[in-house]
Amino acid sequence: MTGFDSHGMLLGMILLIPLLGAVLVGMASRWPNLRETGSVLAALALTFAVWSLLPGALAGERPELALFEILPNVPFAFKAEPLGLLFAALASLLWVVSTIYSMGYMRGNNEAHQTRFFMLFAVALFAAMGVAFSANLLTLFIFYEVLTVSTYPLVTHKGDEGPCVRAGCISVS
């Protein structure tokens, strides 16, 4: 593991962008236009950051970021492998598209708890980026669990007792 280098720092930024987006969305909860603008800007920033790793990956670079050791010789670390980068590139691009779609859907149907939805959507993307760039199974497991927990409220967002809760239980199991 290389610790901190410029590309490794970019991996760290890729993880921070969705979290910062979630915080921005939460802070703008009273102003729907600002909330949704923040969500779209975070999605665009993430897409730009992930896609900026592609030229280096095509040249054979494998950026790494090791933050700390969870256990002896088991770091909490990230690495941009080609398959993970492909997943992250597609997920980040789809975040832009689905955020724009969700804005119209949520407003058009006067959905309740829109701020919560967009915040958890950003947290789910944070977890997806963690899954995509995990350097080992323990880091992958941690982010997969975060992904599971953060998507449950998205699946059950409507709040109907029957179908939504049943679908949420299926998604968690």
* DSSP reduced 3-state for 53: coil
Identify the CA nearest to 136 among candidates 53, 56, 71, 61: 71
- How far apart are the C-alpha atoms of 99 and 161, rounded to whole Å? 26
Residue extents of the structural domains in the chain: 6-172
What percentage of the chain has pLDDT greater than the value 90?
Answer: 45
* DSSP reduced 3-state for 138: helix
What is the rounded average pLDDT of the residues 160-172?
55
What is the rounded average pLDDT of the residues 86-109?
89
Query: Is residue 135 over pLDDT 70?
Result: yes
* The overall pTM is greater than 0.85: no
Query: Is residue 102 over pLDDT 90?
Result: no
Q: Which residues contact 139 (CB under 8 A, 6 or more apart)?
A: 70, 75, 76, 77, 78, 130
Query: Is residue 172 over pLDDT 80?
Result: no
Give the model confidence (pLDDT) of 139-154 as tens digits.
999 999 999 988 877 7
Binned at pLDDT 50, 70 and 90, residue 160 comes out as low
